[in-house]
Amino acid sequence: MMGEPEVIVELKGITKRFPGIVANDSIDLKLRKGEIHALLGENGAGKSTLMSILFGLYQPDEGEIHIRGKKAVIDGPGKAISLGIGMVHQHFKLVQPFTVAENIMLGAEPVKGVSLDYRTAHDKVRQISDQYGLKVDPKAKIEDITVGMQQRVEILKTLYRGADILIFDEPTAVLTVQEIRELMQILRNLTAEGKSIILITHKLAEIMEVSDTVTVIRRGKVVDTLRTAETNEEELAEKMVGRSVSFVPLKKERAPGEVVLSVEGLTVGAGKEKKLLDNINLTIREGEIVGLAGVDGNGQHELIEVLTGIRKATSGRVLLNGQDVTNRQTRALMDAGISHIPEDRHKHGLVLDFTVSENIVLGSYRDAAFGKGIFLDSKAVEKYAEKLVGEYDVRTPSVQNKARSLSGGNQQKAIIARELERGPRLLIAMQPTRGLDVGAISFVHERLLQAKAEGKAILLISFELDELFNLSDKLVVIFDGQIMGEANPAETDGEKLGLMMAGKTMHAEGRG
């Protein structure tokens, strides 16, 4: 084709094997100068592995990498950086108590005599920041700035080191709607200045909005490479998942039954202390999904911690099926019928170095079904795990593999299988689809709706309004530890909800 910009990165037949799995199977990819090339695939499809190879973190078993037309052997991140490749990781690698400029300098400190040359660093950081519209204050400490801002620091870091090929690994997973919009603008600014970008994502909307080209990967293989302008979300989703996907799950109407959870005047923090939860009242009935909306950090975690026995309430009551269970131990609450899908599956949901089967019985291992008395019958555990792994389509070579080796989506499926099969009356799910791809998200949503249909009471906490609107029977908004109000998802819209989430009542006027 005439007039196409030069190919700056070319991957030819990249293959990477891990024990028991082929993560990348002879992958070809071309990145052209000045384009945003989206790499789309489910979790575990092999996107991150491929980019780790390009960034020198892994060595390919087969295949070649060509940078600006020359064959390159990238044997470490240092080499990648010297070739002008920069990577913005999903998990930031920043030193919290250091300033922005200090973090950017780390590893590439300008030196004046024996002392570090802060002035030069500050100036350069500011200059790059202005050039790409990043609006970063070089003197701010990392611990004081928002997640979105931290991400920009990561971008700055790569630019500071002279990168002109930037890899973004799921950059929007941690951002708010507003921040995502700003990031998209930044990406455009970068390409306008001649940078080339590979964007790893599974969010179709972002791809449609910002990318020029899309390469879809499924199970380690390239399914297709398309021009964004010539495709649509449905087509991409189908290619990614391998089957057609419905976006809006069918809300199965069901008349709510008895009250399962009743929270009355729940408060955490007394006297002059800041109240983390302030007089929370909430009821959830059988067969009802109550969506708790709110900006992160407004008391959602504390509420869950009290409901799961991790944190003690200062005052107020929690009733489960009419029985007072306030401030019971976690184990007692679980026995009373509470299941919990925690937000952070690595930290709270799984023991990553346990096998899949050991993880599947976390919380139910004491059942007589898994061994009499003090004994644990690992055969019974494995059998049970195999059954659940089959039913919930958890993809793992065997239940004896470590949970760590599973992709995020499959880890989440394992947790959902575990928590639903314990037979709870109340299911608390926080951000159950965080970081999951389209296929997994729809799976999770279907399962939640199915649980609802079975008469379980569900408390859904999410930062994604679409999810709340699609699933909830009732929306409750939390702000600064207080319930701001309730809404019927059918009768309200994002804007009204957004105002409540920002601490405004419906009748508040203008900005305060």
Partner 1 sequence: MDKWRNIFNPSSVFVPLGAIVLGLISGAVIMLLGGYNPVDAYQALFEKVFGSPYDIGETIRTITPLLFTGLAVGFTYRAGLFNIGADGQYIMGMTGAAIVGIKLQLPWFIHAPLAVLVGALFGGLWAALVGYLKASRGVNEVISSIMLNWIALYLSNYLLRALLLEPGQQRSYFIHESASVSIGWLSRALENARMDWGIFIGLIGAVVFYFLLWRTKQGYELRAVGLNPDAARYAGINIKSSIVKSMFIGGVFAGLGGVFEVLGVFHYQVLSAASSGYGFDGIAVALLGGNHPVGIVFASILFGTLTYGSAGMNFSADVPTEIVRIVIGAVIFFVASHGIIQGIVKPFLASRRKLDRKGAA
Nearest to 213 by CA among 377, 394, 32: 32
Q: Which of 374, 379, 490, 512 binds partner 1 (CB under 8 A)?
A: 374
Taking the CA atoms of residue 410, residue 344, residue 49 and residue 391 in that order, the dihedral angle to the nearest 10 degrees is 0
CA 329 vs CA 312, 326, 332, 336, 459: distances in Å? 9, 9, 5, 11, 20
Q: Which of 350, 360, 427, 461 binds partner 1 (CB under 8 A)?
A: 350
Nearest to 427 by CA among 316, 218, 284, 312: 284
Over the window 223 to 262, marking each residue x when it contacts partner 1 by CB under 8 A and - when it does not, the resulting string is ----------------------------------------
CB of 413 to partner 1, least distance (A): 17
Q: Which of 326, 330, 482, 492 binds partner 1 (CB under 8 A)?
A: 330
What length does the chain have?
Answer: 512
The Cα 346–Cα 40 span in angstroms is: 23
- The smaller minimum CB distance to partner 1, of residues 129 and 359, is found at 359
Q: Which of 349, 408, 424, 489 binds partner 1 (CB under 8 A)?
A: 349
CB atoms within 10 A of CB 195: 23
Q: Name which of residues 375 to 394 contact partner 1 (CB under 8 A).
A: 375-376, 378
Q: Which of 164, 169, 288, 358 binds partner 1 (CB under 8 A)?
A: 358
Total number of residues that touch partner 1 (CB under 8 A): 30
Q: Which of 58, 160, 168, 370 binds partner 1 (CB under 8 A)?
A: 370
The Cα 386–Cα 391 span in angstroms is: 9
Stretch that binds partner 1, among 87-95, 234-242, 315-323, 328-336 (CB under 8 A): 328-336
| Position 369 contacts partner 1 (CB under 8 A) | no
333-342 burial, b at 16+ Cβ within 10 Å, e below that, comes to bbebbbbbbb
- The smaller minimum CB distance to partner 1, of residues 160 and 370, is found at 370
| Position 309 contacts partner 1 (CB under 8 A) | yes
Q: Which of 185, 232, 246, 329 binds partner 1 (CB under 8 A)?
A: 329
CB of 415 to partner 1, least distance (A): 10
- The smaller minimum CB distance to partner 1, of residues 175 and 376, is found at 376
Q: Which of 71, 139, 331, 395 binds partner 1 (CB under 8 A)?
A: 331
| Position 95 contacts partner 1 (CB under 8 A) | no
- Amino acid (1-letter code) at residue 120: T
- Amino acid (1-letter code) at residue 26: S
CB of 328 to partner 1, least distance (A): 10
Q: Which of 71, 112, 366, 395 binds partner 1 (CB under 8 A)?
A: 366
Q: And the tokens for 197? A: 């970008």
Q: Which of 352, 380, 499, 502 binds partner 1 (CB under 8 A)?
A: 352
CB of 341 to partner 1, least distance (A): 10
**Which residues 6+ apart lie within 8 Å of 213 measured at CB?**
32, 35, 36, 37, 38, 225, 226, 227, 228
- The smaller minimum CB distance to partner 1, of residues 18 and 365, is found at 365
> Are 314 and 276 contacting, i.e. CB atoms less than 8 angstroms apart?
no
CB of 24 to partner 1, least distance (A): 19
**Which residues 6+ apart lie within 8 Å of 265 measured at CB?**
279, 280, 281, 315, 316, 317
CB of 220 to partner 1, least distance (A): 19
Q: Name which of residues 400 to 459 contact partner 1 (CB under 8 A).
A: 400
CB of 20 to partner 1, least distance (A): 13
- The smaller minimum CB distance to partner 1, of residues 184 and 376, is found at 376
Nearest to 419 by CA among 472, 458, 476, 462: 458
> Are 402 and 353 contacting, i.e. CB atoms less than 8 angstroms apart?
yes
Angle between helix axes 438-453 and 408-421 (nearest 10 degrees) is 10
The Cα 105–Cα 176 span in angstroms is: 27
Q: Which of 334, 458, 465, 484 binds partner 1 (CB under 8 A)?
A: 334
> Are 151 and 171 contacting, i.e. CB atoms less than 8 angstroms apart?
yes
The Cα 395–Cα 411 span in angstroms is: 9
- The smaller minimum CB distance to partner 1, of residues 93 and 331, is found at 331
Which helix (H) or strand (E) segment holds residue 23: the answer is: strand 21-32
Over the window 263 to 302, marking each residue x when it contacts partner 1 by CB under 8 A and - when it does not, the resulting string is ----------------------------------------
- The smaller minimum CB distance to partner 1, of residues 255 and 374, is found at 374
Phi-psi region of 474 (alpha: psi -120 to 50; beta: other; left: phi over 0): beta
Site residues, partner 1 (CB under 8 A)? 308-310, 329-331, 333-334, 340, 342, 347-354, 358, 362-363, 365-366, 370-371, 374-376, 378, 400
